[in-house]
Amino acid sequence: MCGATKGGLDLKGVDVDKEAVIQGQVLRGDEPVGGAYVRLLDSTGEFTAEVPTSATGHFRFFAAPGSWTLRTLAPKADPVDRQVVAQYGAVAEVAVTV
Amino acid sequence: MSRESALVSADWVEEHKNDAGVVLIEVDEDVSAYDAGHIAGAIKLDWKDDLQDAVRRDFVNQEQFSALLSDRGVKNDDTVVLYGGNNNWFAAYAYWYFKLYGHGDVRLLDGGRKRWELDSRELTDEVVKREATEYAAKEPDLNIRAFRDEVGDAIGVKNLVDVRSPDEYAGRLLAPAHLPQEQAQRAGHIPTAANIPWSKAANDDGTFRADDELKTLYADAGVDFGKDTIAYCRIGERSAHTWFVLHEILGQQNVKNYDGSWTEWGSLVGVPVALGDEPGKA
């Protein structure tokens, strides 16, 4: 995606104080994986949201404070689960390797 | 209706996508997804610009739907195959429209765009233009659409199924977590509604679960198949997915989608609202 900055998505226009942001990038080796699917599961394992990754492998969720699981599905790869904690006023950055 | 008459597989689409009388249509929440790549031959419907009235909060009427499909080159006797992102939410929503306006043969691609992509099947950015037709939509079938007064009367009487995520149901969130927080005036759910998230009806790859798993899912959550059912979510797209499961896959009669959903109910003055993880009392 044009304009994406290394180290994370641009947060311009997002009031981080009011959002519990979870974002990151899906990688295969050093290569970003676009068109992967990242699912946000709540603390009981229930699906909450899902986004496809951008061409640069990036994704973002506006979550609520608490513990979440990111489940990543990508072509020719097994699903990968990562645990993450979100809180207001902070951006949880997660790198997922498939 | 049944799974066989309502769903097609990706292999079926590969085999039949060039058949005369088969029209593939992509419908996404992210309306730019189609432009970046779609199944060869598929046309696009924009769930907002094409399917919603531009002024009132309502969807396009019979004349507008006829004009839309005529312009896009769809015939009344075509087999329409819908698919899209977000686990087919908006494709299921469009499916419900096609049924509402009496289209004879309409199907959903099981797993939608996600399954197709995860299989590394081909997508193209080739522009598709079909020759205009004279499509004639039927009178809307209101047996599958619920309005707010009927929903109010259904509290404690019919099955109400809230298909949003548990946090939205309980009132901890107002919208899905990938969207900024906005929408209805109040959070919570319609009293007595069971929370059966749409996602429980689908596998991780977006395909629908098996019939016996689906029946057990709804029965265990308190849905009485002997009663009428109304499904709702935030704006009616995820509940179209559940309507599809109950009415089209499982063949349940008397299932309606309340497309006003929480953005309407949660903004109405004076209606009952329940907070928390329990259904609440009538």
Write the pLDDT tens digit of every residue in A59-84. 999 888 999 999 999 999 999 999 99
pLDDT reported for residue A8:
63
Give the mean model confidence (pLDDT) for residues A5-26: 79
**Would you please indicate which residues of B are annotated as catalytic (active-site) residues?**
233
Instruction: Note the residue count of chain B.
Output: 282
CA triple B249-B38-B19, angle to 5 deg: 65
- Using a pLDDT cut of 90, give the percent of chain B over it: 89
All residues of chain B having their beta carbon less than 8 Å from the beta carbon of residue A49 are 165, 176-178
Greater confidence (A11 vs A38) lies with: A38
pLDDT reported for residue A5:
43
Collect contacts of B212-220 with beta carbons under 8 A, ≥24 apart.
B214/B245, B214/B249, B214/B250, B215/B250, B218/B161, B218/B246
Q: Do domains B3-140 and B143-265 have the same CATH topology?
A: yes
pLDDT reported for residue B72:
97
Q: What residues form DSSP beta bridges with B23?
A: B80
Distance CA B47, CA B240 (A): 13
Distance CA A15, CA A19 (A): 7
pLDDT reported for residue B178:
59
Residue B7 makes CB contacts below 8 A (sequence gap 6+) with B107, B108, B109, B110, B208, B249
- Alpha-helical segments (H) within B171-255: 211-220, 237-243
All residues of chain A having their beta carbon less than 8 Å from the beta carbon of residue B33 are 52
Cβ B65 vs Cβ B133: under 8 Å: no
Does A51 sit within 8 Å of B204, measured CB to CB?
no
Superfamily designation of domain B3-140 = Rhodanese-like domain (3.40.250.10)
Fold held by A16-97: Immunoglobulin-like (2.60.40)
How is chain B split into domains, by residue range? 3-140, 143-265
DSSP run (H or E) holding A26: strand A20-28
In 3D, which of A60, A15, A6 has the Cα closest to residue B177?
A60
Measured distance between the N- and C-terminal CA atoms of chain A, rounded to whole angstroms: 20
Could you tell me whether strands A66-73 and A37-41 are parallel, antiparallel, or unpaired per DSSP bridges? antiparallel
Cβ A81 vs Cβ A68: under 8 Å: no
Per-residue pLDDT band at B31 (split at 50, 70, 90): confident
Residue B170 makes CB contacts below 8 A (sequence gap 6+) with B188, B189, B275, B276, B277
Q: Which of B86, B181, B197 sits opposite A46 (nearest CB)?
A: B197
pLDDT per position as a tens digit, B163-213: 998 889 999 888 776 565 557 999 999 999 999 999 999 999 999 999 999
Q: Which of A44, A63, A76 sits opposite B120 (nearest CB)?
A: A76
Does B120 sit within 8 Å of A64, measured CB to CB?
no
Residue A75: CB atoms within 10 A of its CB come to: 15
Distance CA B200, CA B49 (A): 30
Residue A86 makes CB contacts below 8 A (sequence gap 6+) with A20, A21, A22, A63, A64, A65, A66, A68, A92
Q: Please name the residue of chain A whose CA is at the shortest distance from the CA of residue B201.
A: A47
Q: How many helices (H) and strands (E) does chain B have?
A: 11, 9
All residues of chain A having their beta carbon less than 8 Å from the beta carbon of residue B177 are 40, 48-49, 61-64
pLDDT per position as a tens digit, A31-42: 999 989 999 998
pLDDT over threshold 70, residue B84:
yes
pLDDT over threshold 70, residue B104:
yes
The complex's ipTM works out to: 0.79
Query: Residue B130 is encoded by which pair of tokens?
Result: 């079909």
CATH class for the region spanning B143-265? alpha beta
pLDDT over threshold 80, residue B217:
yes
User: What residues of A are in the B interface, CB distance below 8 Å?
Assistant: 14, 18-19, 35, 37, 39-40, 42, 44, 46-52, 60-64, 71, 73-76, 79
pLDDT reported for residue B182:
55
Does B119 sit within 8 Å of A75, measured CB to CB?
yes
Q: Which of B118, B166, B178 sits opposite A49 (nearest CB)?
A: B178
DSSP run (H or E) holding B229: strand B229-232
pLDDT per position as a tens digit, B224-281: 999 999 999 999 999 999 999 999 999 999 999 999 999 999 999 999 999 999 999 9
How is chain A split into domains, by residue range? 16-97
